[in-house]
């Protein structure tokens, strides 16, 4: 399975709109099958290390601190997902019980 890359950046102060305009112009619009997908305003998922490195260099040029991470999709098996849902239900049930609203 092919790795993807997360690029996260943090500007010490709000960046000028130029950063995002250059990013849009050079990398195209953000979408799941494009050169990058914005997950948050300062986190992008890139399909390859080449794009991730270019995006990281652009953010650094505009003064951001940048981190890149290789991501490999492993997926959770059915048993892990079932346990996770049971955990959420148990936690929410306990919270409602403490507030006097039993479910």
Is it the case that residue 71 has pLDDT exceeding 80? Answer: yes
**Using CA atoms, how far apart are residues 68 and 49, in angstroms rounded to an integer?**
9
CB 39 within 8 A of CB 45: yes
Are 9 and 56 in a shared domain? yes
Residue with the bigger pLDDT between 82 and 1: it is 82
Q: How many Cβ atoms are within 10 Å of 36's Cβ, its own excluded?
A: 22
The range of the structural domain enclosing residue 25 comes to 4-71
Total of domains in the chain: 2
Are 65 and 81 in a shared domain? no
Are 63 and 84 in a shared domain? no
Point out which residues pair with 68 in neighbouring strands: 7
CATH number at residue 67: 3.30.70
Give the per-residue pLDDT at 75. 73
Residue with the bigger pLDDT between 9 and 100: it is 9
Q: What is the pLDDT of residues 74-92, one digit of tens each?
A: 777 888 889 989 999 999 8
Strands (E), the chain: 4-10, 37-40, 43-46, 65-71
CB 23 within 8 A of CB 55: yes
């Amino acid at each position: 399975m092919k790795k993807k890359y997360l690029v996260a950046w943090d500007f010490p102060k709000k960046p000028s709109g130029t950063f995002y305009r250059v990013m849009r112009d050079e990398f195209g619009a953000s979408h799941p099958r494009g050169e990058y997908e914005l997950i948050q305003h300062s986190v992008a998922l890139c399909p390859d290390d080449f794009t991730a490195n270019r995006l990281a260099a652009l953010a650094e040029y505009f003064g951001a601190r940048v981190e890149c991470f290789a991501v490999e999709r492993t997926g959770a098996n059915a048993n892990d997902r079932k346990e996770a849902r049971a955990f959420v239900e148990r936690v929410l049930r306990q919270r409602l019980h403490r507030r006097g609203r039993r479910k």
